[in-house]
Amino acid sequence: MREVDVLIIGAGPAGLTAAIYASRSKLDTVCIEKKVIGGQAAVTDEIENYSGFPEGISGLELSGLMKAQAERFGAEFITGGVKSIEKDGELFNAHTEKETYSAKTLVLAMGAYPQPLGCPGEEELRSRGVSYCATCDGAFFEDEVVAVVGGGNTAVEEGDYLTKFASKVYIIHRRDEFRADRAAVERAIANPKIEFVMDTVVEKIEGDGMVENLVIKNVKSGEISDLKVSGVFMFVGQSPHDECVKGLFETTNGGWLKTNDDMETSVKGVFAAGDVREKHLRQVVTAAADGAIAAMSASAYISELRGKIIPTRS
């Protein structure tokens, strides 16, 4: 069993920033990430609204810079997944497949994952034309016709990105106006490769081994029609990565972790940051802010603990 001051679960922008602030505070800091450093940000082709990068920056590059900055202050990054967490007196034990970490405080920054649409054919054709990541899979659709489902920033921005490869991109949205910000929408409107299909839902995804057709329905007229595409990208919402903490902390109905302004969860000594917690805006900049607050709150908590007798193990 390894003892640390701060254990951060998840290395997206929230976890990476928490690692910077915690390690810079001279705390023994370990960050565990089971997939890709940077989380969803790492597979975003271009981030143009993060402060300090007027020309924009790729999510992968920004994530690498954040990691390097945290490592410069002494943070350590471990590849692996946390299977379970338990409280042990004043400490928290986090069990991975290889090792157990005993931490004075935890920062939960597991992020979120794209929700499936839930229509017939989606699961059967997943990775066979059904995708949830334009940056990951866009290049497979060179000169093909594809569709994007959703009306938020992610859907509109990723639709614009897909025009680098696809000959045409349909953006299908169930309402008559977008939730995305005006700049993203205006850029998509100006793109000749994009066509908007409004007031419309996808009823079914069809194809013989690969996506070939979408059965779509206009929610106002009730008209059902076919839309021939080779791929469909889903951006209809997110759910929290709460597998290792389910049932341990107070959450909303959607499973998002509840925190106060100091990022403290319902369990003292455990903080949450980024997309895993209940919040209005899920962006790189808000995740980074959460991570900074969580780390400094964790530092204050450890200072409080140091006034007590803290259990140690031989």
Q: Are 107 and 7 in contact (CB under 8 A)?
A: yes
Residue 310: per-residue pLDDT = 47
Please check whether the two domains, 2-113+238-305 and 116-234, share a CATH topology. yes
Q: What is the mean pLDDT of residues 214-228?
A: 98
Say whether domain 116-234 belongs to CATH 3.40.109.10. Answer: no
Tens of pLDDT, residue by residue over 99-124, are: 999 999 999 999 998 899 999 999 99
Q: Which band of pLDDT confidence, cut at 50, 70 and 90, is reported for residue 198? A: very high
Is residue 262 part of the annotated active site? The answer reads: no
The DSSP-derived string for 190-207 is: T-TTEEEE-SEEEEEEE-
d(CA 228, CA 210): 12
Contacts of 55-58 with C-beta under 8 Å, sequence gap 24+, read none
User: If 0-12 CB within 10 Å is exposed, 13-18 middle and 19+ buried, where does residue 127 land?
Assistant: exposed
Distance separating alpha carbons of residues 211 and 231, to the nearest angstrom: 6
Predicted confidence band at 233 (pLDDT cuts at 50, 70, 90)? very high
Top mean pLDDT of 42-46, 195-199, 242-246 is at: 195-199
Mean pLDDT of the 260-281 span:
96
Selecting among 137, 242, 275, 290, the annotated active-site residue is: 137
pLDDT given for residue 165 in this prediction: 97
- Positions of E strands within the chain: 2-9, 29-33, 76-79, 82-88, 91-96, 100-108, 112-114, 130-131, 145-149, 168-172, 194-197, 200-206, 213-218, 224-228, 231-234, 238-240, 270-272
- The helix, strand and coil proportions of the chain, stated in percent and rounded to the nearest 5, come to 25, 30, 45
Is there a catalytic annotation at residue 275? Answer: no
**How does residue 305 score in pLDDT terms, banded at 50, 70 and 90?**
confident
**Are 207 and 121 a contacting pair, CB within 8 Å?**
yes
Q: Annotated catalytic, 176?
A: no
Q: Could you report the per-residue pLDDT of 144-190, keeping only the tens digit for each?
A: 999 999 999 989 999 999 999 999 999 999 999 998 999 999 999 99
Catalytic residue, from 88, 136, 176, 226: name it.
Answer: 136
Q: Which two tokens stand for residue 286?
A: 């808000």
Please tell me whether the overall predicted TM-score, pTM, comes out greater than 0.85 for this model.
no
Rounded Cα gap, residues 34 and 32, in angstroms? 7
Please state whether beta strands 2-9 and 100-108 pair in parallel, antiparallel, or not at all (unpaired). Answer: parallel
pLDDT of residue 149: 98
Residue 284 pLDDT > 70: yes
Confidence of residue 282 (pLDDT cuts 50, 70, 90): confident
Q: In this predicted structure, what is the pLDDT of residue 136? A: 81
**313 pLDDT more than 50:** no
pLDDT given for residue 308 in this prediction:
62
pLDDT score of 312 = 47
Characterize the bridge pairing of strands 145-149 and 130-131. unpaired
User: Cα–Cα distance between 79 and 278 in angstroms, integer?
Assistant: 26
User: What's the CA gap between 313 and 105, in Å, rounded?
Assistant: 16
How would you class 233 by CB atoms within 10 Å of its CB: exposed for 0-12, middle for 13-18, buried for 19 or more? buried
Q: What are phi and psi of 63, to 5 degrees?
A: -65, -40
Whether residue 86 is predicted with pLDDT greater than 60 in this model: the reply is yes
* Structural domain spans, the chain: 2-113+238-305, 116-234
Neighbours of 101 (CB within 10 A): 22
> Across residues 222-231, what is the average pLDDT?
98
- Which residue type is seen at 98? K
Can you give the pLDDT at residue 314? 38
95: tokens are: 């069990």
Res 47: pLDDT: 87
For the record, the structure tokens of 116 come out as 């499936």
CA 203 – CA 71 distance, rounded (Å): 48
- Which of residues 32 and 238 earns the better pLDDT score? 32
Identify the three-state secondary structure at position 148: strand
- Per CATH, the homologous superfamily of domain 2-113+238-305 is FAD/NAD(P)-binding domain (3.50.50.60)
